[in-house]
Structure 1
Amino acid sequence: MSAAVEPLHRPRPASSASLELNGVHAGYGDFAALFGVGLHVDPGEAVGVVGPNGAGKTTLLRVISGLIRPTAGSLRFDGHDLTTTPAHALPALGIAHVPENRRLFPHLTVEENLKVGAFSPAARPHFIARRDHVYELFPKMKARRHQLAGTMSGGEQQMCAIGRALMCGPRILLLDEPSAGLAPLVVQQVFDLVRRIRQEGLTVLIVEQNVAQVLRVVDRAYVLETGRVAAEGRSAELAADPAIRRSYLGGH
């Protein structure tokens, strides 16, 4: 009999695990990329941030994950002030970031990349259970567990990157452009995997240019344009909005 698989995240009281941003400004040196951005993600939700290239979507996730410090505004997760929390401490809080272009270690195997995801002292004792759970979610990863990550296809690398993020037992998963550079069929597979992850009860914040696909898997979404929130709403409402359809969905 196989060992029981541990849940990917520990259940917490619903009121204690929300992510909230208020009036966030951020950028790179003298270049400003975000202007007063506010959003919230409630426990168990999947929320999208959509918009064109250069809108500030990647910068937004980098601010949440501590890679960039905001110049103004507040960020809180589970009661913690993220503006003063160092980036290396965020996985212990339950925040996992799958960056744009995946950023795997190409000369390490799939399983070695997963071990990197479970590097923190709190995650190490759960490595086997979480690894097995990742292999259940992504059977291809189990078949390729001894393969060098850099030799896999783009879609397989994306699965590995998501799997690596799940190894820390996150309570919120930040996904940056998971469909970038992938063939349409693989894009569909990646979003199907996002649906499966959601069924685990995991909270997801996903930024995407593929607006049509992301609106099918999220509860709500924000439209980011030139560093500002231009619109927000339930996914069905945004998909039906004439302005959103003209700008992002090719509709009239």
Structure 2
Amino acid sequence: MSGASTLELSGVHAGYGDFQALFGVGLRVEPGEAVGVVGPNGAGKTTLLRVISGLIRPRAGTLRFGCRDLAALPAHELPGLGIAHVPENRRLFPNLTVEENLRVGAYAKSARARFAERRDHVYAMFPRLKERRHQLAGTMSGGEQQMCAIGRALMSGPRILLLDEPSAGLAPLVVKQVFDLVARIRGEGLTVLIVEQNVAQVLRVVDRAYVLETGRVSAEGTAADLAADPAIRRSYFGGH
């Protein structure tokens, strides 16, 4: 199975209209790894995940997941390959209940048969969602909505989970809870690729990370090495 679900990008260029957001980006995520992509707002982090999940076509470069060429596949086929994307700002259906949102996450034919089993697993991981399963998703707190968005992604039985700015707009205590959840998810063996501005928090839960600045990878290394790097500390840790 080694390499069967390795995510590998090489020389990826992408953008919107006349605007280019990514310039020759390359990265690799091995099965079972948690990898971060960190950098300032506007660095291209969200664009990167949108390219991986098929929402934007790359202008150049290659994207592979195992033996599959992602650039050749329509976005709706990617969940069937085991790629689940938790988008920035969660993008729940606010007028559907928690459980109805989870059902949306299991829309793929292969996932429908295991709906009850995976729903129960999500409720075991997020007991608060079970308590609120009949509540409209739009009426919950930001932290609860983030749990629901992650739970919805897990309903497809993914091999890799793409998390886009999971701490955005959340109170500091809730941010800690969200990263604790990320640590639990990867503790179950799920591969995780997380993009974040909150560098200090993300480096606590990933094995390796890439620094993305103005659409280019400016540094990469183990979480420990990046956390100790003086330039990274000056830029992202307030110099402490």
TM-score bracket relative to the smaller structure: over 0.9
Is 1:121–2:109 an aligned residue pair? yes
- Residue 172 (structure 1) aligned with residue 136 (structure 2): no
Question: Counterpart amino acid of 1:230?
Answer: S
User: CA offset at residue 14 of structure 1?
Assistant: 2.5
The AA in structure 1 aligned to 2:81 is L
Residue 58 in structure 1 maps to residue 46 in structure 2: yes
Q: State how far apart, in whole Å, the 2-side matches of 1:79 and 1:106 are.
A: 37
Distance in 2 of aligned mates of 1:146 and 1:92: 27
The residue aligned with 1:147 is: 135
Whole-Å Cα distance in 1 between the matches of residues 137 and 72 of structure 2? 34
Percent identical pairs in the alignment equals 82
Correspondence 1:19 to 2:7: yes
1:220 aligns with 2:208: yes
Q: Can you give the 5+ residue segments of structure 1 that lack an aligned partner in the other structure?
A: 1-12
- Number of aligned residues: 240
**What residue in structure 1 maps to residue 119 of structure 2?**
131
Which of 42, 54, 68 is matched with 2:56 structurally?
68
Q: Aligned partners of 2:221 and 2:236: how far apart in 1?
A: 15
User: 5+ unaligned residues in a row in structure 2: which ranges?
Assistant: none
Question: Is residue 2:217 matched to residue 1:229?
Answer: yes
SS at match of 2:3: helix
Aligned: 1:250 with 2:219: no
Choose from 174, 184, 187 the match for 1:186.
174
User: What does 1:80-119 align with in structure 2 at a 5 Å threshold?
Assistant: 80-119=68-107
Matching residue of 2:19:
31
| Deviation beyond 6 Å, 4+ runs, structure 1 | none
**How far off its partner does 1:200 sit?**
1.0
Pairwise CA RMSD: 0.5
TM-score under structure 1 length normalisation: 0.95
Note the C-alpha offset of 1:139: 0.4
